[in-house]
Amino acid sequence: MKKALTAGLLSAFIAPGSGHFYLKHKRSALVFFSLAVISLMLLLMQIYQVAQVIALEIQNGTLPLDVGVISAEITQQTQTTMANANELLYGFLLCWLVALLDSIRLGLKQDKQGKLDTQSNR
């Protein structure tokens, strides 16, 4: 299997930066992986904050134990407090896409170099 295909599959299905790690570009791998983890952590922190607010409202009795009311409150809370959650999600997806494309680019470069090396050895 070509390095470009393997690196692209790793970046697409495992994690951003895994294709770079396979191609021995460890700094790039660390950067892409760190950006992805940070954006996911920030997104999960916002989701957790919304869940905490709703749980406290249920515990205090200000929110009744009715599925419809709780569902409406979840919708309202997510719309008001998670305005930049879409930005974090888009940032994560952009990081993943850039890592995927860059790992394929680097893999193609290494494949081309390997092909030139084998031709020069003949």
Look up the pTM and report it.
Answer: 0.79
Domain residue spans in the chain? 1-116
Note the pLDDT of residue 85. 78
Assign 63 to helix, strand or coil: coil
Q: How confident is the model at residue 21 (pLDDT cuts 50, 70, 90)?
A: very high
Average pLDDT over residues 100-104: 96
Closest CA to 19 of 41, 40, 2: 2
d(CA 26, CA 44): 26
107 or 87, higher pLDDT = 107
